[in-house]
Amino acid sequence: MSREFTALVSEIVERSEKILLETPLCSRCLGRLFAKYGLGLSNQDRGLMIKTLLALKIFTEYSRGESSRRNHYMLALNGGDQLASSYMKIYGEEISPLSCYICGSKFTSSFIHEVSEKACEILREHDASSFLIGVVVDEEISRRELDLLVKYGLESMESIKRELKREIGKKVAENCGLTPNFTNPDVVVVVKIERDFTYSITSEPNPVFISGRYWKLGRNISHVPWITRSGFKKYPLSIQEFVGEALRSIYQSEDVVIHAAGREDVDARMIGSGRPLIIEIKKPTKRSVGIEEANKALRELSRRYPVVVELFSKTTRSSKVFVKNEAKLRRKVYRVAIYSPEEILPQDLVKLEEFFSNREVKQRTPTRILRRKKDREKTKRVYAVRIVQVSQRVFESLIYCDGGLYVKELIHGDYGRTVPSFAEVVGKPLVPIELDVVLVED
């Protein structure tokens, strides 16, 4: 046994003796003061070992006639049953040890078992396959720990909060057969410890996120419910309501919301490639729903409404942010039917195709949405335009452009707020009468 090790053990025993002469501590809370020593040991085992060494030290001193009964009495009073038993054997006097200064002698194996069992019940109710334990400790308990830390300079100390999280988490994993997940758990179980070590448990189920695409095959369907100032729905159906009606019941969730890669105008269809979206199932109590089961519910509802949604796979919260941020970068192809009160000549259409080839367009916030968006200017690009004449006053155009470009304003110019515009190039008033999104690039 090395001198360094012997010196370390001697130091730990001496410091523990000093602490226990003044402060009652259970074995777990004593062991936690020296948590960085003895890898692989629990704080409970570490504390018991320290008290065992203290009992040996006291008996040795007693045998040599060097012991102080007063000191032995205080150690027995503050050190728990092990040191009280030693005192009883030496002096024949029974002592009832004091409760632990930090936890009131309530942080026991049975306490951990009880809390973990209740946590397991909650996790089963949420159909969870992964979890994370969170602990909130009353500030009075934290103050007691801080008192000891400062008074005795305990650099090796571990907080009771950290030990609670670890020990409860280990027991929950063992009892429930679930996997702890520190980055994306199905459910966070929060254990709140009061100053008298009573506790309460709450749960915070994380949403289920699912990637997919949607197609809007009809017009006058909003992205989310559009409620007027008078409190009425402006349009009878929204994509979000469609998804919610299909999925809320099978996930038994509180709510369902969608996060899409941009959004088309309410009077525009989303056809062709469909639009990427992330579905967020909030506070589900049934999480193990298969993707095919969810798709089946969506297909059933598509028989009643002109909306199609196809789900691909479960994903993470970060994908929601990615899809929304990427919307501005995804190029799109639009089909627009355009009317002019004046006759449209073939050379007008050729001029449009030639002019809008990799053309930069500056747009101020459209007048139609100035009431809900700030007046800003942005620059987008039109990469190509292809046109087919339908009649003397109507033509159709495919427009390949940046995401976020206001296509209606590109057609009529919005009183000069979009420059250049189709109307400006041909020198004639133009009105977009029908709009479809046919491609959203991946």
Query: What are the chain's domains?
Result: 3-91 (no CATH), 109-205 (3.30.2130.30), 208-326 (3.30.70.2510), 332-440 (3.30.70.3190)
What are residue 97's phi and psi, to 5 degrees? -60, 150
**What does the DSSP 8-state code read for residue 254?**
S
**What does the DSSP 8-state code read for residue 227?**
B
Return d(Cα 424, Cα 144) in angstroms, integer: 76
From 283, 71, 114, 280, select the one nearest 188 (Cα to Cα): 283
Q: What's the token pair of residue 368?
A: 């139609």
pLDDT value of residue 1? 57
DSSP for 147-204, please give it: HHHHHHT-TT---HHHHHHHHHHHHHHHHH--EE-SSS-SEEEEEEEPTTS-EEEEEE
H-type helices in 23-159, by residue range? 27-32, 43-63, 69-79, 81-91, 109-125, 139-152
Task: Outline where DSSP puts E strands in 174-297.
Answer: 179-180, 187-193, 199-205, 208-216, 255-260, 269-282
Return d(Cα 396, Cα 339) in angstroms, integer: 9
Return d(Cα 70, Cα 54) in angstroms, integer: 15
Q: Which amino acid is at 161?
A: K
Contact 73, 86 (CB under 8 A): no
From 349, 354, 328, select the one nearest 338 (Cα to Cα): 349
Q: What's the token pair of residue 119?
A: 């946590």
User: Is residue 315 within a helix (H) or strand (E), and if so which, with residue range?
Assistant: strand 307-315
Model pTM? 0.80
Q: Which amino acid is at 102?
A: I
Relative to beta strand 332-339, strand 431-440 is antiparallel
pLDDT value of residue 109? 94
Residues of the chain with pLDDT under 70: 1
Q: Which amino acid is at 73?
A: Y
Taking the CA atoms of residue 97, residue 102, residue 104 and residue 108 in that order, the dihedral angle to the nearest 10 degrees is -100
User: Is residue 439 within a helix (H) or strand (E), and if so which, with residue range?
Assistant: strand 431-440
Q: What's the token pair of residue 120?
A: 């397991």
Rounded to 5°, the CA angle 30-42-32 comes to: 25
| Full 3-state SS string of 359-418 | EEEEEECCHHHCCCCCCCEEEEEEEEEEEEECCCCEEEEEEEECCCCCHHHHHHCCCCCE
SS3 category, 277: strand
Count CB atoms within 10 A of the CB of residue 410. Answer: 28
Cα separation values, 299 from 56, 222, 246, 275, Å = 75, 19, 9, 17
What is the set of active-site residues? 265
pLDDT value of residue 68? 85
Q: Residue 177: left if φ>0, alpha if ψ -120 to 50, beta else—which one?
A: left
pLDDT value of residue 191? 97
Residue that is written with structure tokens 């992205």 in the block? 223
pLDDT value of residue 9? 84
pLDDT value of residue 262? 85
DSSP for 326-343, please give it: HTTT--EEEEEEEE-SSP
Return d(Cα 265, Cα 370) in angstroms, integer: 15
pLDDT tens-digit map of 192-238 = 999 999 999 999 999 999 999 999 999 999 999 988 888 888 999 99
